[in-house]
Amino acid sequence: MPEPVLLIFGAGANVGLAIARKFKQEGYKVAAASRTIKDDLKQIADKTIANILTPEEVETIYSEVEKDLGPPSVVVYNAYSLSPVPGTDPFSLSPADFSKDLNVNTTSAYAAASLAANSFSKVGPALPKAFIYTGNMCSHLIMPEGFSMGVGKNAMAYVIQTAAEVYGLKGKGEKGFWYFADQRFEDGASVMSYVDGEAHAEYYWELVNGKAQGPWNNTFVKGKGYKRFEGELERGVRGVGELLAMAEERKGEL
């Protein structure tokens, strides 16, 4: 049986690196794409690609990975782009910056998802197949300072929900299982900048090895796994400063 291949977009020093390390330890070949390739990532990954994640680059990356390592059976999209704006004036964001952020958060992510569905059809039935998009609280909370990222994350939430329904549930996973993953405090509050790389790595490994499509909007708590939170569609409005202060007060719970 061929070795399974993980392709991760956005292999940064926290979540991305931890995921790469976990899957490498579990016997995967690892291909990692990141804006900056650091030595610790080079030591783990079988293939590294420096990029700025345009849709065209995503297609090139897939081609290179398939040629050098084989078709990816697990794809993690952990990349993001954010152009901060004042909380009192989110529409001060220029169309150019809006487009730049949307390109990374949505268009390139969709390109990766589309190519993953095709790649999964080339993978043998014995290997787990999954696409995981690292989400955040913007799917249920208005954060004006992160306006462009919120738009992009919400667009990809629709993409992932569609894929989970069509490919994961109705298609019984032949084209993979699909997840929008989001770490939370135990009561559902956002962890903000206190995202835990190791917690993501362990939970993503659990998702990949599931035998059926789980909840597409996969909110999870460190050490406890999936937890469903009510009222997700009733979006409140919070400023970045308020959210960061709340997370700072509670970081000891993580």
Active site residues: 153
Quote the tokens at residue 125: 């039935």
- Residue 254 in 3-state DSSP? coil
Angle between helices 55-68 and 108-120 (to 10 degrees): 30
How far, in Å, CA of 218 to CA of 186, rounded?
A: 14
- Residue 144 in 3-state DSSP? helix
Cβ 132 vs Cβ 202: under 8 Å:
no
Give me the helices (H) in the chain, please: 15-25, 39-44, 55-68, 95-102, 108-120, 147-163, 197-208, 240-250
Quote the tokens at residue 138: 């913007």
